[in-house]
Amino acid sequence: MKMISKISKLALALSFFGSSVFAQSLDDAKKAIDAEQYQKAKSMLKNLTVTQSSKDENFFYLGWVYLLQDYSDSAKTVFNKGIAVNPKSALNYAGLGAAALVDKDRATATNNFNQAVSLAGKNSKPYVYMGEAYLLNPVNDKVSAADANAAIAILNKGKAINPKDAELLIALGDAYRSQLKSNEAYENYAAATALDPKSAHAKVATGVLWKFANNFEDSEKQFKEALAVDPNYGPAYREWAETDVRWALTDPKMASVKVKEATDNYRKFLSLTDMSEDSRLRYADFLVYAGDWKTLQTEATALSKTSKNLKLYRYLLYSSVENKDYPAAITAGNTWLTKADPKRVIARDYLYMGRAQIASGQDSLGIAALRKAYDLDTTQADVYSEIAKSFYAQKKYEKAGDAYHEYLQKSNKGTLNDYFREGFSYYFAYDPAKPNADTTLLTKADSAFSYVQQKASKPIGDVSLYRARVAEYKDKDRNNIKGLAKPYYEQYISIMTANPPTDDRSKRALGEAYSYLGTYYEYKEKDEAKAAENFTKAREVDPANKQAASYFQRKGGAKGK
């Protein structure tokens, strides 16, 4: 962090110097945006909106920077100023549509995009930014198919107007790449590179495409080529860093080397930006991606002392939960969830908040938060597994069983262990002491245990044991014993005697199985020899078995010794 502090001071000084030297050119400002030097670009553009106040493009690009920085209200204000300067500014209508999309106001977005199209004429640039707008709102780092298809459609319209717009081709490649349509993405990146061989942006985009194909060597090659074109092109280092992290996660043998390289590359990226608050927020994004929760909590805590950006509280929520600092997580989560625009809150926020609350003993609040996460994103069905565990820990067994059942119905990640937990929960939910005990709980338990028994690759002792116990609850009248549990206890005995148990729990369960059979033979079959044989085995495996002791006490004599 000391290194970051030193870099920050140097970059701050340079940014003041740069604002006076490079503030004259819109092209320079656009290059700064492309290089993710947003503070520098903003300084230039603010100056341009004063010195060249009649040019609507200056207002658009300033608004676009605000949008990239997650300030949609400020962006809309600037776009409207651009329209005041030029009521026929297709770019600024595209900007208003993009801001509306970020705010999840699709009707307004469509109206503004239609206006932009009507005014664009042969200018392809408004199409570029309308297309990119649809890619600004990924959920869990994924662009929805609907947004990607909308981007592809509008970008192809722009391509028909001007097939030689390299920037548009890169955006079209990005849209295809978001849906894993690698061939289409590559074709557009290659076309952009052919039009502009010196485009560092196109080379980096191609490198990212190879990253997602886990072709890490070719990915690095593209980043190096981009840096050969422009050694100060920061996004190449950022994407290289994120590729290193993916490489580390994919190949454990390379993990230590690639994690270090990722850190070095990200520091290079930071040194090439203006080290503004927004650059540090991008660093926080990287730390989330890299799973470096300790550094993230430290960095977000430091930034929160000087920054008013509420997004920091999201970072603090996530990192504090991962670091098991639950009080800090709840404080940060409450700030984020109560103060952030509701349109900015995502399922993951409620997921982390729910985990923090459950870990802090606030189970009812935590469960409500987890359910909210699922309501916002139905792909988050795993929350029901966490809800089930919470209910089980509270001994709310029926609710736990219901949550496991819902999890298994909604998620494709359920395992046989989850089916067993479902059965286990319903089994303990059944209370035979209640006058009108709900026997449907036993049916649900047995159904779950039966599923495990059918699907397991080999017999599982505990499954047979609990099926036997469920059946025994239905067979308590020893004077009219039906033997419902007999086949399951016999299965359990067969499984356990193949490798005789050494732990006390299994020995007691085996004694339980033998004593049930002893009772069955004594009262159902009236076979004293079989009864004595099984009670003897029960006593041998578990000398403390009460049923065996009672049997031999009743029979007296040598059998009782």
pLDDT digits (tens, 9 = 90+) for 413-443: 899 999 999 999 999 999 988 888 899 999 9
> pTM of the predicted model, to two decimals?
0.66
Instruction: Tokens 């106040």: give the residue.
Output: 53
Encoding tokens for residue 291?
A: 């799973």
Query: What pLDDT is recorded for position 285?
Result: 83
CA distances to 187, 232, 246, 265, 280 from 227, rounded to whole Å, are 22, 7, 21, 12, 22
3-class SS shares of the chain: helix, strand, coil, % to 5: 75, 0, 25
Instruction: Return d(Cα 285, Cα 276) in angstroms, integer.
Output: 14
Query: What pLDDT is recorded for position 478?
Result: 57
Encoding tokens for residue 315?
A: 């970072």
Q: In terms of CATH, what superfamily is 458-561?
A: Tetratricopeptide repeat domain (1.25.40.10)
- The model's pLDDT over 173-231, given as tens digits with 9 standing for 90+, comes to 999 999 999 999 999 999 999 999 999 999 999 999 999 999 999 999 999 999 999 99
Query: What pLDDT is recorded for position 21?
Result: 40
Looking at residues 248-257, what average pLDDT do you find?
88
Nearest alpha-carbon partner for 30 in 175, 122, 129: 129
Instruction: Return d(Cα 236, Cα 265) in angstroms, integer.
Output: 9
* Buried-state track 280-317, b at ≥16 Cβ within 10 A, e below 16: bbbbbbbbbebebbebbbebbbebbeeeebbbbbbbbb
- The model's pLDDT over 500-543, given as tens digits with 9 standing for 90+, comes to 989 999 999 999 999 999 999 999 999 999 999 999 999 999 99
**DSSP SS3 for 139:** strand
DSSP labels, 497-556: HHS---SHHHHHHHHHHHHHHHHHHHHTS--HHHHHHHHHHHHHH-TT-HHHHHHHHHH-
Classify the C-alpha dihedral 469-471-472-476 as positive or negative.
positive
Classify the C-alpha dihedral 114-120-123-126 as positive or negative.
negative
Q: Which of 110-114, 163-167, 341-345 shows the lowest per-residue confidence on average (mean pLDDT)?
A: 341-345
- The model's pLDDT over 302-314, given as tens digits with 9 standing for 90+, comes to 999 888 889 999 9
**DSSP SS3 for 473:** helix
Which residue type is seen at 389? K
CA distances to 18, 34, 58, 201, 301 from 28, rounded to whole Å, are 11, 10, 12, 15, 34
Looking at residues 538-561, what average pLDDT do you find?
84
Rounded mean pLDDT of the chain? 91
CB atoms within 10 A of CB 473: 18
Instruction: Return d(Cα 236, Cα 240) in angstroms, integer.
Output: 6
Domain boundaries, the chain: 458-561
